[in-house]
Amino acid sequence: MKASSNMTQIALETATQDRFSAHVDAALLDRLASRVTKVGVRDPLMIQMPFTGDALGTVPACLAEDVRAAAGLARSAQRAWATRPVRERVAMFLRFHDLLLDRQEEILDIIQLESGKARRHAVEELFDAAMVARYYAATVEDLLKPKRRQGAFPVVTEAWEHHLPKGVAGFIVPWNYPLTLGITDAIPALLAGNAVLIKPDSQTPYSTLWAVDLLEEAGVPGELMQVVTGSGAALGQPIIDCVDYLMFTGSTRTGRIVARQAAERLIDYSMELGGKNAMIVLDDADVDRTVAGAVVACFSNAGQLCVSMERMYVQSGVYDAFVRGFVDKTRALRLGAALDYSADMGSLISESQLRTVECDVEDAVAKGARVLAGGHARPDLGPYFFEPTILENVDEGMRLFAEETFGPVVSIYRVESVDEAIELANASPYGLNFSVWSRDTGRAHEIATRLQAGTVNVNEGYAAAWASVDAPMGGVKESGVGRRHGDGGLLKYTEAQTVAIQHRVPLFAPSYLSQGSFVSVVVFALRLLRHLPGIK
């Protein structure tokens, strides 16, 4: 699985130059870093290039007072933004959509340089951001327009549902998808009339800063979008103290802490957390198609993907053929650091992530797991590269059996029946994204409804559900709270308000009618309404 020499040389050469690629240089990164909100001189936070371990640039290590200042600026800007006609907001986000596609090479380079992923996985973020901007620009007017609701009594009572912006929405963003998670949750919040306060991960701030810069170019007021950079431990609590809603994407362990802190303020939140996602391959699956899909499902972004597969349950009828094909295709993957589409898989993000993957694999092998493919770090390619790895004979005594590795490692199991596969897939505290493979999509759909996961893909690993932005996306059990995408992905950033108007006839006994007579009239009316068509 050695990459060609030019694949690794690209990143090694750029680290010594002011220009990191044809589209990204130190001046651009410095300008983006200047967008970070701070009220004084701050220590620099060094951003590393995972491809080489060399410095990419620095951003300020913000403090709690910077968060408070950012929230204040955002809140002031939000008041005017909320009064802007929705159609004006829509026009800005459609311009953002077009600018994003026009400037794709620039952002793809930035994503790769700060995250280490292959370009074919970076481009998924570009597509996602464009699709989300287009979708919510197309739906926001209908979602926010006042809706007539049935009143207490027909004719005499009318009720209206309004959706008002919450104010300032906060976003604590992970490193694995710095453009997607840095901006696509904020897009519906902004369109709904809110300001946003975003804290990108301290390892990958530039993609978020670039997106915010592009939104301002598209017409969104810059003061409306505040970005602070630094560690989550230092800035998480101050952010929660200042915002009116919180969207968090990260580990389940950290999510519990964030939930407690948000509960103290009684602010609403949504979270996408950890997963130990399962793929089920039925006896009637198309083996070649399933093998190709499994490689993508397990090793996209070097497995550093919350919805990627880490467990596979394959029925006996196709197990041997599937494993042979899967191992062969996995061994053929090209690893590399090229800023083009020549690599199939890139690097892990950091030494810490590499060590986690190494320790999980070493622990499993020491306890009896068998390596079918991969299993080793690749320092010849870069400091944090690790081979895509397939393991057999993994059992509950091993660390990676039940816990998320978040790397290019998958465990494969032979099962005899569909019921056994479903039971094993559901035997997890996590339920984010599962996958079912079968020629019979109707049968696969029925199986999907028996799986305890927020999303299930049939004959696909993760992209079909994720890219269906009209449908909700999120986890169950310990994999999250709330949803992104769909109607709820925008309405969660609003407060639902009911305005009820009472006409002439009162809802309480008038002075000219005794209480007993009034009760009799209401009882008669309720009995009548029970039989009228169209009355709920």
Phi-psi region of 417 (alpha: psi -120 to 50; beta: other; left: phi over 0): beta
The reply to whether 285 and 248 lie within a common domain is no
* pLDDT tens-digit profile, the chain (536 residues): 333 333 333 444 444 458 999 999 999 999 999 999 999 999 999 999 999 999 999 999 999 999 999 999 999 999 999 999 999 999 999 999 999 999 999 999 999 999 999 999 999 999 999 999 999 999 999 999 999 999 998 889 999 999 999 999 999 999 999 999 999 999 999 999 999 999 999 999 999 999 999 999 999 999 999 999 999 999 999 999 999 999 999 999 999 999 999 999 999 999 999 999 999 999 999 999 999 999 999 999 999 999 999 999 999 999 999 999 999 999 999 999 999 999 999 999 999 999 999 999 999 999 999 999 999 999 999 999 999 999 999 999 999 999 999 999 999 999 999 999 999 999 999 999 999 999 999 999 999 999 999 999 999 999 999 999 999 999 999 999 999 999 999 999 999 999 999 998 888 888 888 999 989 988 998 899 889 898 88
The reply to whether 239 and 288 lie within a common domain is no
State which of 435, 460, 478 marks the end of a domain.
478
The reply to whether 444 and 358 lie within a common domain is yes
In a domain, 109, yes or no: no
The reply to whether 252 and 296 lie within a common domain is no
Q: How far apart are CA 338 and CA 4, in angstroms?
A: 10
What local confidence, expressed as pLDDT, does residue 3 receive?
36
In a domain, 83, yes or no: yes
The reply to whether 453 and 514 lie within a common domain is no
State which of 273, 308, 323 marks the end of a domain.
273
What local confidence, expressed as pLDDT, does residue 7 receive?
34
In a domain, 485, yes or no: no
Q: How far apart are CA 276 and CA 431, in angstroms?
A: 7
In a domain, 121, yes or no: no
Summarised one tens digit per residue, pLDDT across range 72-120 is 999 999 999 999 999 999 999 999 999 999 999 999 999 999 999 999 9
The reply to whether 194 and 247 lie within a common domain is yes
The reply to whether 247 and 307 lie within a common domain is no
Q: How far apart are CA 314 and CA 285, in angstroms?
A: 10
Residue ranges with strand state E in 152-263? 157-165, 168-172, 195-199, 225-227, 245-249
Q: How far apart are CA 106 and CA 113, in angstroms?
A: 11
What local confidence, expressed as pLDDT, does residue 534 receive?
86
State which of 244, 273, 302 marks the end of a domain.
273
Contact 179, 193 (CB under 8 A): no
In a domain, 303, yes or no: yes
What local confidence, expressed as pLDDT, does residue 6 receive?
35
Q: How far apart are CA 155 and CA 412, in angstroms?
A: 63
**Residues annotated as part of the active site:** 272, 306
The reply to whether 197 and 245 lie within a common domain is yes
> In CATH, what number is assigned to the domain containing residue 239?
3.40.605.10
In a domain, 35, yes or no: no
| Terminal Cα-to-Cα distance of the chain (whole angstroms) | 64
The reply to whether 246 and 181 lie within a common domain is yes
Q: How far apart are CA 50 and CA 113, in angstroms?
A: 7
The reply to whether 246 and 162 lie within a common domain is yes
The reply to whether 366 and 305 lie within a common domain is yes
> In CATH, what number is assigned to the domain containing residue 300?
3.40.309.10
Number of domains making up the chain: 3
What local confidence, expressed as pLDDT, does residue 17 receive?
55
In a domain, 113, yes or no: no
The reply to whether 189 and 336 lie within a common domain is no
Contact 315, 424 (CB under 8 A): no
Residue 396: which domain range? 277-478
In a domain, 112, yes or no: no
